[in-house]
Amino acid sequence: MIVAVMVRGKVDARDKAKESLQHLGLTKRNQAVILEDDAATRGQLSVSKDYITYGVVEDETVEKLEETSGKTLEKGDTVSLSPPTGGYKNTRRQVGQSGSLGERENMDDLLNKMV
């Protein structure tokens, strides 16, 4: 299971990225969506990687998100979260460049800071 979080707003975004964010269900900053890990979803995520961060999460993290939202979450459901404690590193750089955007291996850590 993959969770994607919108880090940057859609102002001045490319049209293709705006469409991709809309298909993913992300409309606001700090909003998270639960997605299935398949090729089509990975394509949408790679198109919008300059505006979101995403990664595979554990079941315990999904349970915490369910507690926060007060409902059972299924694939495609969104949850509004608070900004992470301590803030994002850099909202204009990829994770590999000491930033916060793109695919990350420690998505659970970020979500625990936002719950």
**What does the pLDDT profile of the chain (115 residues) look like in tens digits?**
999 999 999 999 999 999 999 999 999 999 999 999 999 999 999 999 999 999 999 999 999 999 988 989 999 999 999 999 999 999 999 999 999 999 999 999 999 999 8
Domain count, the chain: 1
Q: Provide the domain limits for residue 72.
A: 2-114
CB 64 within 8 A of CB 115: yes
Q: What is the CATH number of the domain that holds 78?
A: 3.30.1390.20
Give buried/exposed letters for 34-66 (b at 16+ CB in 10 A, else e).
bbeeeeebeebbebbbbbbbbbebeeebbebbe
Predicted local confidence at residue 68, as pLDDT = 87
